[in-house]
Structure 1
Amino acid sequence: ATLGPGDTVLVPNPAYPIHPYGVVIAGADVSHVPLIPGVDFFDELEKAIVESWPKPKMLIINFPGNPTAQCVELDFFEKIIALAKEHKIWVVHDIAYVDIVFDGYKAPSILQIEGAKDIAVEFFSMSKSYNMPGWRVGYMCGNKELVSALARIKSYMDYGTFAPIQIAAIAALEGPQECVAEICEMYRKRRDVLCDGLTSAGWPVEKPKATMFVWAKIPEAYQAMGSLEFSKKLLAEAKVAVAPGVGFGQYGDDHVRFGLIENEHRTRQAVRGIRNMFKKDGVI
């Protein structure tokens, strides 16, 4: 709806795959911006803007983030909007995990920033907050021109979302919200079991403040393998499936992503399998 051959889009790396590949599908070019510890994201972003020709048309961001679970505060979005306005760049923010937050953290919206609607939109999915994955329903709000572009391409692609799904989404948004807190608490318990279990097994991991993922740095004894081979080893020897970090971009190759999709009992079982693998390898 907004991109084509000759356009360039800025995307953080690591990133959820559809963010860069949606750009590729549209025929545009991707400029990857490192979003990793020890690197100033805004310095890298400014450099990518200045060094790109033609000038980037759009920036796609996602906080709380998948796969890294990285969280930001309002001042981060203030800088994003200021930079985007200075260089006349659209901003698309994926806020799918806004409600899956823990330990008192509250995820801000980029549309809280004054003037953000001049250049930014925000996408929300019903999949996470209301446990409706696969229903393919959500919404976008913000800049009128970008919202109109989405409406235009949707009118060409299909005839609209199946009516019962639309009605269910309305009921979820307008009805009691206790279910959102219950879903969030379920993920918090799973997070605690996984992170505490891995740490006790000799794999220290940081507890994320949001999302349904744990972004775990590969233990030092296995770092030389890279994320793909290490993920294969976990699957074969510990019977645990993780997503290799390289699948989210080159800057993710020293991590793997755990999804908090199993109950606490199964999660403890996974931790035991990993601990046994560590023991066999002499890591602990």
Structure 2
Amino acid sequence: MAQQWRSQRLNRLGSAIFAEVAEWKREARNNGLDVISLDIGSPDQPPAEKVRASLAAACERPDVYRYPGTEGSVRFRETVAKWFHHRFGVELDPYGEVLALMGTQDGLAHLALAITDPGDAALLPDPGYPVYGAGLAVAGVEAIPLPLSAENGYLPDFDAVPQTVWDKVKFMILNYPSNPLSVTADLAFFERAVDAARRHGVLLVHDNAYSEMAFDGLRPPSVLEIPGAADVAIEFHSLSKSFHMAGTRIGFAVGNRQVLSAVRALKDNIDFGVFLGTQEAGITALEMGMYDPQPVAALYEKRRDVFVNTLRHQGWKVPAPQATMFVWAPVPEGWSSRQISRAILTGTGVASIPGNAFGERGEGYIRLALVESEDRLIEAARRIGEFLKTTEPLGRTDHE
């Protein structure tokens, strides 16, 4: 018998639906369809010209090709601290409370390996970003769903979590603005979250990757704005969406020193840190955020408005997202999430992600990403509307 060169843990990583949707798109293209990819949240715009120029200039410097160090350059960490104070009014020590990352996914995927042991547990939002569970699977940590429902504004009820669960949980992850739910949370909520973390002795992990992508005048807060939060919390930030730097892979974690030190200790044995040229580009982006802002939220707010309004005009009454680059759309009666996502793609060429890819409570929704031009989004909404008017539901089955 041939040796199987594949770990069993890979079968527990993320959701297979993302690879399946990619296959659906290939089939659709092979069938001659013009595919509009609203499935993956990959920004379609480049970084600002100043950021690109900074990266290009840095790449010409001979000194940026040495090992960068896992903590990040002093200049990058100091700039993060300045930006954080400018944006949230929070003072950070750049030498102990800031850690450079290859995007937030880097830190989120490695967190459980750094601070837990096999047999520990963590609370994850349901629905929530799939990489949260992937990090736990690699570390041998049990994932316990933290239910989020529309009736409660997609905010968790900490008092509803049984004490027996709190007793075995090492950390909990929150994500506001939320992917995929596209809702925000206020400081009053984070006060409750910090209080729950203190009372139950767990680490509060806040994924704040979409902090700069809220609409209608909203300015999402940081959990670290709560006094003393750094005693029990860390927060992840990304330059991928806020500054259109997804391909350069740069983000950072801030907050609790002990946790950041543990993550850094793990990464010392895995990688050598973020390329110094990329860090220089990140510095320029953060400085622009303070002194020469080009808010990315305005772009996605306009896209949201044209897309949602066109869908509504076509008869699909989807809610307008409060933030992020995603529309969390309730599935019309008679369809499952997977059925309608596949049917829309094969019938119209518009790709989406079924809601159950984000957890059991995502069933009944699909996620659509606002990562095409306004004209293409209008075309996508028109195609979807015509499809829904002319196609009968397949009828949900027990195995869906």
Specify the TM-score bucket, using the shorter chain as the normaliser.
Answer: over 0.9
CA 176–14 in structure 1, closer or farther in 2 if over 3 Å, else same? closer
TM-score, normalization by structure 2: 0.67
- 1:54 to partner: Cα distance: 4.9
- Is 1:262 matched with 2:375? no
Give the conservation status (yes or no) of the 8 Å contact 1:94–1:123: yes
Q: Which moved more, 1:122-131 or 1:152-161?
A: 152-161
Is the contact between residue 148 and residue 156 of structure 2 (CA under 8 Å) also seen in structure 1?
A: no
- Cα-to-partner distance string for 1:210-266 (whole Å, 9 max, x where unaligned): 10101010122xxx3310111001101122111100000010011000100000111
TM-score (norm 1): 0.93
What residue number does 2:337 align with? 227
Contact 1:129 1:180 in 2 (8 A): no
Matched with 1:273 is 383
Per-residue displacement from partner, 1:41-72 (whole Å, max 9, x unpaired)?
A: 544x3343513275211001110000001211
Q: 1:194 to 1:62 in 2, by over 3 A?
A: same
1:67 partnered with 2:210: no
Instruction: Give secondary structure in 1 for the equivalent of 2:338.
Output: helix
Choose which of 290, 305, 308 in structure 2 pairs with 1:195.
308
2:371 is matched by which residue type in structure 1? I
Aligned to 1:240: 350
**Contact 1:121–1:140 (CA under 8 A) maintained in structure 2:** yes
Quote the residue 2:118 is aligned against. Answer: 5
Spell out the pairing of 1:105-254 with structure 2 (5 A cutoff). 105-175=218-288, 178=292, 180-181=294-295, 183-220=296-333, 224-254=334-364
The separation in 1 between residues aligned to 2:142 and 2:355, in whole angstroms, is 22
**Amino acid of the residue matched to residue 229 of structure 1?**
Q
Equivalent residue number for residue 131 of structure 2:
18
Report if aligned partners of 1:3, 1:23 keep a CA contact under 8 Å in 2: no
For 1:245 and 1:192, locate their aligned partners in 2 and report how far apart those are by CA, in whole Å.
22
Shift of 1:282: 7.0
Q: Is the CA contact 1:31–1:48 (under 8 Å) kept in the aligned structure 2?
A: no
Conserved in 1, the CA contact under 8 Å of 2:194 and 2:229? yes
Consecutive aligned runs of 4 or more in structure 1 exceeding 3 Å deviation: 39-43, 45-49, 175-180
CA distance in 2, matches of 1:41, 1:171: 35
Tell me, yes or no, if the aligned pair for 2:167 and 2:200 is still in contact at 8 Å: no
Q: Give the distance between the partners of 2:190 and 2:297, measured in 1 at CA.
A: 24
Q: Distance in 1 between matches of 2:135 and 2:302?
A: 33
CA distance in 2, matches of 1:265, 1:73: 33
d(CA) in 1 for partners of 2:280, 2:300 = 26
Alignment of 1:95-106 (within 5 A): 95-106=208-219
Task: Kindly indicate whether structure 1 or structure 2 has the higher relative contact order, using CA contacts under 8 Å at least 6 residues apart.
Answer: 2
Alignment check: 8 A CA contact 1:49 1:55 kept: no
The answer to whether the 8 Å contact 2:311/2:317 transfers is yes
State the identity as a percent. 39
> Which residue does 1:89 correspond to in 2?
202
C-alpha RMSD of matched pairs (Å)? 1.7
Structure 1: stretches of 5+ with no match in the other structure: none
Match of 2:189 among 68, 72, 76: 76
Provide the secondary structure at the position in 2 that maps to 1:123: strand
| Worse-matched range after superposition: 159-168 or 51-60 | 51-60
Residues 134-163 of structure 1 show CA distances to partners (whole Å, capped at 9, x for unaligned) of: 222111111111111111111111111111
Q: Deviations for 1:176-195, whole angstroms, at most 9, x for unmatched residues?
A: 654541x2211111111110
- Can you give the 5+ residue segments of structure 2 that lack an aligned partner in the other structure? 1-113, 394-400
Q: Which moved more, 1:123-132 or 1:46-55?
A: 46-55
- Choose 1 or 2 for highest CA Rg: 2
Listed one character per residue, the Cα deviations across residues 1-44 of structure 1 (whole Å, up to 9, x for unaligned) are 1122111000110000011221112110000011012258544x
